[in-house]
Structure 1
Amino acid sequence: MKRRMGLRIVWAVLAGAAADLAGLGLIAAAAWLITRAAEQPELAALSVAIVATRAFATSRGVFRYAERLTGHDVALRAQAETRERLYGALIPPQQPRHGGADLLSRMVDDTEAVQDLLVRVLLPATAALITGAAAVVIALTLAPFAALVLLAGLVVAGVLLPVGTAAAARRWSARLAPARAALAERVADLVHGSADLAAYGAGERALAKAMEADAELAALERRQSRVHAASLGVGTLVQGLTVAGIVLAARAAGADTVATAVLALTALVSFEPVLPLAAAGERMAGITAALRRLREVRSASPAVTEPQAPAAPPEGPVTVQVDDLVVRHAPGAPPAVDGISFTLEPGKRVALVGPSGAGKSTVLAALMRLLEPECGSVRVNGVNTAELDSGQVRTLMTGLTQDPYIFRTTLRDNLRLAGPEATDDDLARAVRDARLDQWVSRTGWDAELGEDGRTVSGGQLQRLSLARALLYDPQVLLLDEPAEALDEETADALMADLLDVTHDRTTLLVTHRLKGLEQVDEIIVMEHGRAIQRGTHDDLLAVPGYYRDLWQSEALTRR
């Protein structure tokens, strides 16, 4: 693959250089033909120039088409490969360093730097080098001193000017990509959080922050435009002065009219591939910053360390044993989970309850190998999950997360994310178990759901996510706050259905709600990462503590 890509790049470079050389030859031949024809020689003396002019004109278009076709093909392939590698780097869980909008900006905008590196920098620079050398050789054969003037002008326009624009652009280019990411994040907050912003009266403040981000980006882009305009003006000035100097040098050397015309027009055209190099130098500063941002993502440390030789995944009914688990979200931070232990035997249901920040969701993340424990272990049938591939672990243990995502596609396709090979009967069974069958019968399987579940209610969203988890059918079902952000009636109904459908299914449930927990086998009360109480529902009601207090509070609320 790399060898084939390299051959495509070489062909694109050669085609681009051939197109510019054909353009140079066209102008040189046409200049000689026009000036020589003014002397009224015999027609036979002009025949070679006439044929050369036609040949150069035709080949220039052919080679330019080949260069555009091959160059953009290579650039788009390289961009697609870069996005694939970037996406692959994001698949293993990473330490949270970038927001979603920032990652989107890197995926869309920064990966275009690879395309620009080939199309706007590498190919033009190579073609300009070859064309400029050819123009100097032509000038050297006609007037050596004029060739020196042309060489000096090409060096200024093709080397010094791009270096200068790159240095000037470097000051703001490193800030341009983060500014675009910041604006994208503000706009995403306005679009996706419009309802919450309106509810809290924070819409104007959020809009003002977005306008500030837009103003900062606009200021940086104005600087970019000024650098671009200045480089274009200086390049045009250098081109004109060089042509004027060549004409003076040719006349001083005693060159005839034909040679002087050929030299002047050849020099003028030789700057055509050279002048864009100033913009390439300016763009190179942005490309360097974009590639640096891509490297930051690809070099980010994964949240968990994958084993070099993963053990075989356990088969059959699994028993999950958690022993003295300790998890920190950052080095030196207080432990989010501090020495918790429990066992999930086949068919057993365990509930983790406790106040927000107690570490319940962190336990689930550690079980799914989304976080690396500091010490302690999670074993499946005696095999430490650290010895298993993290994908294998999440195949065994997964389920309903706090923030389930619904794609903007049909209900059927959203469900089939969990089971691509699922039949219609499988889908119907999962929907029925999640108590969504009546809703599906009204809307139909091909009803399109809005982005992020905006067209469904909170209860329907949670039930749809539950149906997806049941369709996937992991050996250990993990449920993280399934009734969160639902009204009292909907939450009670969902919890009742959930406890009913998970009967005899190995389940770990994280919840703030206590209603219905008399059906689970064990309840673990967590606080500050520790297990402060454990037992059955009746056991915990018999002793003072968080569980009994919360139960009594919920009972008063229901009355």
Structure 2
Amino acid sequence: MSTPRLFLRLLVLIAPYRGWFAIAVLLGFATVGSSIGLIATSSYLIASAALMPSIAVLSIPIVGVRFFGIARALFRYAERYTAHTATFRLLAGMRGWFYETVEPLAPAGLIDQRGGDLLARAVGDVETLEQFYLRVLAPPLVALLAGLLACGLMLAFDLRLALMLLLLLGLAGLVVPLLVHVLSRRSAGASIAHRAALSTNLVEGVQALDDLLALGREDLLLARVREDSRRLAQAQEHLATVRGLGNGLVLLLSHLAALAMLLLAIPLVRNGELDGVYLALLALTALASFEAVTPLAVALQSLETSLAAARRIFAITDTPAQISNEPATSPEPQDYSLELRNVSFSYPGQSQNVLENLSLRIEAGQQLALIGPSGVGKSTLVQLILRFWEGWSGEILLGGVPLRAYRAEDVRQMIGVVAQHTHLFNGTIADNLRIARPMASQAELDEACRRAHLSDLINRLPNGYDTWIGEQGMKLSGGERQRLAIARALLKDAPILILDEPTAHLDQTTASDVVAALEELRQGRTTLTITHRHEHLASVERIVELYQARCGNDADHPTTKGAES
């Protein structure tokens, strides 16, 4: 994406907060203007007082010093408060926008993304855009207004003074930032990339810490983190060095400006064209005016890091959603049957179908099991029914209506899922249950847990439903986590139920307990059970076996067909 287009897209995101930012710019100008006024009046006051005039002559500059001194503090506070309030609101809005944009992409659109990298984009990259206003947009506007004010003040004394100050301000506000930009362009993008890599490896390493420790390979994670940290520190060190260079050059130009004002003004005093009492005012006012252009030394450097972060954010948000043609409303299903007619599907980038000409029908209220080894497309079929993937051929019908006629959200409301890997949040048992029904009453929670055979566990816990279960529910056993997932599905009370390997990683005794809880869940629902073994299927009315039909010796691309028993 080109830099101008990227810049415009960032401006569009800021547009809802433009009123706040406009006020902040005006307050920033008032702050710098008060600084210039304070320096000008105080220097004139000191120079005038040295001549010992009447106190009446000094009364106006004395009042000016007091006014500008107080005004500067008040304007600075108001400017910082307004700018940061607007920026924090912008960042909060951007995080919400990023999540709302990314959520419809899951899981199909994010299949190639790493969790740590997504976290880095949602948190670190969005936070980097704070610089876009505070260091990129506002400072040039404040500098322009303050520079015009300072040059106008010089123009009141002599045109040559105004032109010289304008030249030096131009060097500090344009040439120095361009030099800093050229020197830091590569490191600005590298710092964003290395920070993302560090975040990604840290997240993945922490998630896999148990396995790394068990295998004795924690040194592998440590080496990656150290290398990422070294590269990030190297990039940041280079950026800091360039920033220091830029600030040093602006400081040098500010003192040259004060010297230039003296060199131009002294001949005017000698020729009687200028009162000598204004010499200090001219030199110090020129020096004070550089307060406005000092932030510009690193403005383009901040712009580069902001654009690098924005590219990473928009690379995700611009990913086309799998569901591209959502209907405005969903039809009413005739019943809650499921039917597949010659369904074929292959993942993007693969030539061989995962599912090929698969046909089956589950009557409303019927229980059907799909059995087959790993890799034949059982879980893929579940994702198609849930409308996580598009692009299949053939027909999938829900209640006699083509699946694509429904809104994806409405399809998922009609289907409850208990998977082999159920995500549990780091919260209480009640929090995890109410994900299925946020307004569920305590009586409904009790009933769902009773039917899921979870009541005994909750009664044993000291805090009951308010017990924290840890990250991914790690304070619970595998069977307890599955029964919690079953209770959640009972609370959702969807008419169609999909059980995707719900006992795959459980021992025989625990699996039997979970199956007993599943019997409660299956009652009165259209149920599709996905499994790779025949155990615990006594109550299933129909069994369809999926197998792999291979072409020649190609064993990498299984084709799924069905055989009913």
TM (norm. structure 1) is 0.91
Native 8 Å contact 1:183 1:213 kept in 2: yes
Q: Does 1:414 align with 2:443?
A: no
Q: Does 1:534 align with 2:558?
A: no
- Report what 1:453 is aligned to: 473
Q: Does 1:52 align with 2:70?
A: no
1:330 is displaced (CA, Å) by 0.8
Native 8 Å contact 1:366 1:373 kept in 2: no
- Report what 1:88 is aligned to: 100
Counterpart of 1:191 in structure 2: which amino acid? V
CA distance in 1, matches of 2:302, 2:14: 25
Relative to structure 1, the CA distance from residue 2 to residue 106 in structure 2 (aligned partners, 3 Å threshold; closer, same or farther) is closer
Question: Any residues of structure 2 matched to 1:102-141 within 5 Å, and which?
Answer: 102-141=117-156
User: Kindly, what percent of the aligned residue pairs are identical?
Assistant: 33
1:403 is displaced (CA, Å) by 2.8
1:414 is displaced (CA, Å) by 1.0
Q: Secondary structure at the match of 1:301?
A: coil
Residue number among 387, 408, 411 corresponding to 1:369 in the alignment: 387
- Report what 1:540 is aligned to: none
User: Which has the larger displacement, 1-10 or 271-280?
Assistant: 1-10
Deviations 1:437-460 (A, max 9, x none): 111110111111102112111221
Native 8 Å contact 1:75 1:114 kept in 2: no
1:106 is displaced (CA, Å) by 1.2
Residue number among 182, 190, 201 corresponding to 1:175 in the alignment: 190
1:503 is displaced (CA, Å) by 3.8
Relative to structure 1, the CA distance from residue 215 to residue 114 in structure 2 (aligned partners, 3 Å threshold; closer, same or farther) is closer
Counterpart of 1:466 in structure 2: which amino acid? I
Native 8 Å contact 2:497 2:525 kept in 1: yes
CA distance in 1, matches of 2:422, 2:494: 17
Deviations 1:357-383 (A, max 9, x none): 111111000000001133122111222
CA distance in 2, matches of 1:331, 1:157: 52
- Report what 2:7 is aligned to: none
Native 8 Å contact 2:42 2:65 kept in 1: yes
Q: Does 1:76 align with 2:104?
A: no
- Report what 2:74 is aligned to: 62
- Report what 2:5 is aligned to: none
Q: Secondary structure at the match of 1:321?
A: strand
CA distance in 2, matches of 1:4, 1:503: 51
Native 8 Å contact 1:239 1:271 kept in 2: yes
Deviations 1:4-27 (A, max 9, x none): 733222211111111111111111
User: Which has the larger displacement, 371-380 or 306-315?
Assistant: 306-315
1:499 is displaced (CA, Å) by 4.1
Native 8 Å contact 1:310 1:389 kept in 2: yes
Question: Any residues of structure 2 matched to 1:3-402 within 5 Å, and which?
Answer: 5-94=17-106, 95-96=109-110, 97-254=112-269, 255-314=274-333, 317-402=335-420
- Report what 2:452 is aligned to: 434
CA distance in 2, matches of 1:313, 1:111: 41
User: Which has the larger displacement, 1-10 or 261-270?
Assistant: 1-10
1:308 is displaced (CA, Å) by 4.3
Relative to structure 1, the CA distance from residue 378 to residue 532 in structure 2 (aligned partners, 3 Å threshold; closer, same or farther) is closer
Native 8 Å contact 2:330 2:410 kept in 1: no
Q: Secondary structure at the match of 1:74?
A: helix
CA distance in 1, matches of 2:349, 2:225: 34
Relative to structure 1, the CA distance from residue 333 to residue 164 in structure 2 (aligned partners, 3 Å threshold; closer, same or farther) is farther
- Report what 2:3 is aligned to: none
CA distance in 2, matches of 1:211, 1:339: 51
User: Which has the larger displacement, 370-379 or 398-407?
Assistant: 398-407
Native 8 Å contact 1:525 1:531 kept in 2: no
Relative to structure 1, the CA distance from residue 357 to residue 339 in structure 2 (aligned partners, 3 Å threshold; closer, same or farther) is same
- Report what 2:9 is aligned to: none
- Report what 2:553 is aligned to: none
User: Which has the larger displacement, 184-193 or 524-533?
Assistant: 524-533
Counterpart of 2:283 in structure 1: which amino acid? A
1:193 is displaced (CA, Å) by 1.3
Q: Secondary structure at the match of 1:318?
A: coil
Deviations 1:55-86 (A, max 9, x none): 11122222222212221121112111111111
User: Which has the larger displacement, 233-242 or 284-293?
Assistant: 233-242
1:533 is displaced (CA, Å) by 4.5
User: Which has the larger displacement, 181-190 or 327-336?
Assistant: 327-336
Native 8 Å contact 1:368 1:398 kept in 2: no
Native 8 Å contact 2:257 2:283 kept in 1: no
User: Which has the larger displacement, 232-241 or 29-38?
Assistant: 232-241
Native 8 Å contact 1:30 1:53 kept in 2: yes
1:120 is displaced (CA, Å) by 2.2
CA distance in 1, matches of 2:215, 2:529: 31
CA distance in 2, matches of 1:500, 1:470: 9
CA distance in 1, matches of 2:287, 2:129: 31
Relative to structure 1, the CA distance from residue 107 to residue 487 in structure 2 (aligned partners, 3 Å threshold; closer, same or farther) is same
Native 8 Å contact 1:499 1:516 kept in 2: no
Relative to structure 1, the CA distance from residue 486 to residue 181 in structure 2 (aligned partners, 3 Å threshold; closer, same or farther) is farther
- Report what 2:552 is aligned to: none
1:2 is displaced (CA, Å) by 8.7
Relative to structure 1, the CA distance from residue 149 to residue 121 in structure 2 (aligned partners, 3 Å threshold; closer, same or farther) is same
User: Which has the larger displacement, 319-328 or 198-207?
Assistant: 198-207
